[in-house]
Structure 1
């Protein structure tokens, strides 16, 4: 599919010693019941599998992991009251971590589902964790492990490599605290990550990479602690907005002996928050690092309006703005308001059409066509400003434009993209790992002036015109300095050394005509 896909999302909950929390209606020993609700709120980050690990003292399996393929409702049997209740009772515990997954490799294989659990006779070495992100130095870490005597890596995923790195820090008689463990592990990693870990001693760790590429928020009210990739999961549990805050880059939250601490495990040389979180990935109800996702997207629409080249007469009533559902709506509405024309839902999305990104060839195009239905009564004879949040591979856009002309009978289609052109792969957790799969680079490589480039893009897509936002619009919309954002996919400037090296390798392959392979030579990340 032309849309990028995120790797995954993490969540965690812990009922600390103290009075029962009103946010945990089933009592302290069953705080784990909150996990499926939290995962539902971040399912936009992954629909391939869902799972959780719970800790319960006195149970033979101090840590017990449950995970299944499919969305959260499917995995946790939420549409079957009896089965869902049986799962909640079996896996009940005062502490739990959870995970939703999408993978670059597209493997529908339960072995890749998270959390990953590492069992051991010693409780301090028995742990489970969920991971959101991607390690740019995965090939080096994997090769180093395999070079050692009789070592074997079973899965082509950086999650397994990270599991081995964590276990290695506790090998032998070493007894690091969770903070010390994270400090040591982080020195081995290049890339993006947020981690939720629980061990058989009932200790918990939540950590965010030193650049802050991946988001994670947390909240504490009374005896209840919770954390998630996005703030909306905490808000919907009932935490007061003022108690929800981001885990800062290089920070770790640890719970040990019933005590919660927030400490720094690594220095943060710079910030590199992934800008794509605001414009596409995150739930529109979330706030990331103090900036509302909705307000950022609204500002992107205002930026689009400010650079709109078409002459528009609102009194003519022949022009409408149409968002591509759903993540483009805030930008489309704001753009339309600034231009003084209606924003209409001329495209209706079939929410039950299934995933299109794992379909191939004609099957994928047919699925895309069935996913959106143009409303002829709304669109016929209109000049349409079609607002999209991004164009990565262009598959969806081409099909949409054909459908708008054939079914919607529109007069003109002008594509407006609330993002600059995607020019480089992502090596930090977004499913766009090669230069060759991207729509924009071949056009930009010609060296022509931007108007000529946009004209050729429009011809290729079948649009009357195409416009993208300039790069500097992103920092204005997110209200963060550009140097605090990871904008590698729109600038080619990566925030880590391994990321920059991988990009150079990708460019060299394109220039030499070598076949491109994905980031991990065909392997998927978390």
Structure 2
């Protein structure tokens, strides 16, 4: 599903003082704990390949905290293919504590100034800090306008990360010296949306915080003196932490490290949950476990649910083909249930950049990215399994390629997700209704077999079948009330999300969306349709 973009990923490490040396620490010593950040970021590279960076803390250098970041993959930014350059970089930025980030832009430009972490220099140590942010503030327009309403204030970037930096600075302005937990509590009163934050200051104090709805995942582990956190559990497991040590940070909680002391504290109430279901069905690494729910087992159950609603007549020429790579678990499961082969009829060229990052002309890039295998496909009735259909550009190309180049006699598209009908305002790059495939056919009504027939004809497929919406909670393992399913049911978990959706509907009805862009870019004072 190369048309859908994620937001970002965060990581943090800290070797606590006076507690011996962790066996997981780098061989160079405790003061090189920061060397673990590139390893963590590599394992969450799936969450963003536009930029990467880290900030490290070392009390024995003039730059108490120092930041290295750039546009590019983790390998490119940290020179992992050039050992001398990599070692030099690690020596320069060596420290016992560090935070890191991988970025894909849901807002803002694609240049180095937007790469994270964001560092704010100051002569006072408590006011000299760096942070990285994963998510999206749905009330960013309001926060931005409030800041710019002050004549002496200016924002240089079109990103909610800079707004967040301003608000942290405001908490530390003048003679204020709030504890980190107090600062988080105050910030939570102003934020609406998804936000995971990793923060490090020039005193060597750190916090790792998850928003009260838990929209985006955030995992941590602590064994002896070593603490680490990352957006996904697989990064911590690959670092060497035991499975029993890896946990999901609860929504509204923060790991606080102050004066070398570790604690977990609740910074705001969390009566409700709104975990993004897309994390399990597409975004997260299949080896991750998020909020105690396995990504792989979720995708396996998606395939089982698809099999339960399959009506196609199965014969000896029927095969299942996954769209690489994240649809494979669902495809394998579907094939097993239907007792037909699951074959690699599409080969992904892993040296072609992800099409959503490469920018325009997705169709040409999809042709370059996927190669159909005629020896597998020729004369076959293909059940093509995909994670979801967002804009449909890639799917149209794949169906055409399977038939024209692969020689498939029939292509039946099976989607392991319900139709995407609404934008996301919490960190996934599908921001307008008009760009989405399904709403053009559904007209705010339910999905019917007749609509699926029309959709299939548009895609050039012989048939199309979506996963029923009620299957999502069963597959993920949470009640629907604990999931954010706004993009498939239009029910947003926060007030700003509700309002932005109403603005998007209004702009679509007035024919303004194509010209005016995302509802996210509009002031929240715009009158929304009720």
Aligned: 1:437 with 2:435: yes
CA displacement, residues 271-324 of structure 1 (integer Å, 9 cap, x when unaligned): 0000000000000010000001000000000000000011224xxx20000000
Aligned match of 1:155: 157
Distance 2:374 2:475 in 1: 33
Aligned match of 1:136: 138
Aligned match of 2:302: 300
Distance 1:276 1:264 in 2: 26
C-alpha contact (below 8 Å) 1:2/1:391 kept by paired residues: no
Aligned match of 1:423: 421
Instruction: Evaluate the alpha carbon distance shift between residue 263 and residue 217 of structure 1 in structure 2; reply closer, same or farther with a 3 A threshold.
Output: same
TM-score normalised by the chain length of structure 2: 0.96
**Distance apart, 1:447 and its partner CA:** 4.7
Question: Secondary structure at 1:252's aligned position in 2?
Answer: strand
Moved more, 408-417 or 21-30: 21-30
Question: Secondary structure at 1:196's aligned position in 2?
Answer: strand
Aligned match of 1:265: 267
Aligned match of 1:365: 363
**Distance apart, 1:106 and its partner CA:** 6.9
Aligned: 1:54 with 2:56: yes
Instruction: Evaluate the alpha carbon distance shift between residue 54 and residue 287 of structure 1 in structure 2; reply closer, same or farther with a 3 A threshold.
Output: same
Distance 1:389 1:449 in 2: 18
Distance 1:448 1:257 in 2: 56
Question: Secondary structure at 2:215's aligned position in 1?
Answer: coil
CA displacement, residues 2-41 of structure 1 (integer Å, 9 cap, x when unaligned): 6211110000000001111110132211100000000000
Distance 1:359 1:259 in 2: 44
Moved more, 395-404 or 106-115: 106-115
CA displacement, residues 134-165 of structure 1 (integer Å, 9 cap, x when unaligned): 00000000100111131100000000000011
2:225 to 217, 223, 226: 223
Query: Aligned ranges for residues 237-386 of structure 1 at < 5 Å?
Result: 237-313=239-315, 317-359=316-358, 363-386=361-384
Distance 2:130 2:446 in 1: 52
**Which gives a bigger RCO, structure 1 or 2 (Cα 8 Å, sep 6+)?**
1
Question: Secondary structure at 1:236's aligned position in 2?
Answer: helix
Distance 2:67 2:450 in 1: 55
Aligned: 1:409 with 2:407: yes
Query: Aligned ranges for residues 60-75 of structure 1 at < 5 Å?
Result: 60-75=62-77
Distance 2:189 2:108 in 1: 29
Instruction: Evaluate the alpha carbon distance shift between residue 448 and residue 181 of structure 1 in structure 2; reply closer, same or farther with a 3 A threshold.
Output: closer
**Distance apart, 1:104 and its partner CA:** 2.2
Query: Aligned ranges for residues 90-239 of structure 1 at < 5 Å?
Result: 90-105=92-107, 107-239=109-241
C-alpha contact (below 8 Å) 1:2/1:395 kept by paired residues: no
**Distance apart, 1:478 and its partner CA:** 0.6
Question: Secondary structure at 2:42's aligned position in 1?
Answer: helix
Distance 1:86 1:491 in 2: 51
Kindly report the root-mean-square deviation, in angstroms, between the aligned alpha carbons of the 2 structures.
1.4
Aligned residues: 519
Distance 1:451 1:220 in 2: 51
CA displacement, residues 433-466 of structure 1 (integer Å, 9 cap, x when unaligned): 0000000001111758701100000000000000
Distance 2:440 2:500 in 1: 19
TM-score normalised by the chain length of structure 1: 0.97
**Distance apart, 1:338 and its partner CA:** 0.4
Instruction: Evaluate the alpha carbon distance shift between residue 405 and residue 63 of structure 1 in structure 2; reply closer, same or farther with a 3 A threshold.
Output: same
Distance 2:201 2:320 in 1: 52
Distance 1:105 1:172 in 2: 31
Query: Aligned ranges for residues 467-506 of structure 1 at < 5 Å?
Result: 467-506=465-504
Instruction: Evaluate the alpha carbon distance shift between residue 499 and residue 312 of structure 1 in structure 2; reply closer, same or farther with a 3 A threshold.
Output: same
C-alpha contact (below 8 Å) 1:105/1:522 kept by paired residues: no
Question: Secondary structure at 2:355's aligned position in 1?
Answer: coil
Distance 1:519 1:21 in 2: 48
**Distance apart, 1:519 and its partner CA:** 4.4
C-alpha contact (below 8 Å) 2:2/2:354 kept by paired residues: no
Moved more, 223-232 or 143-152: 143-152
Aligned match of 2:528: none
CA displacement, residues 21-68 of structure 1 (integer Å, 9 cap, x when unaligned): 110132211100000000000000000000000000021100100001
Aligned match of 2:527: none
C-alpha contact (below 8 Å) 2:402/2:408 kept by paired residues: yes
**Distance apart, 1:129 and its partner CA:** 0.4
CA displacement, residues 61-98 of structure 1 (integer Å, 9 cap, x when unaligned): 00100001110000000000000000000000000000
Q: Which 5+ residue runs of structure 1 have no aligned equivalent?
A: none
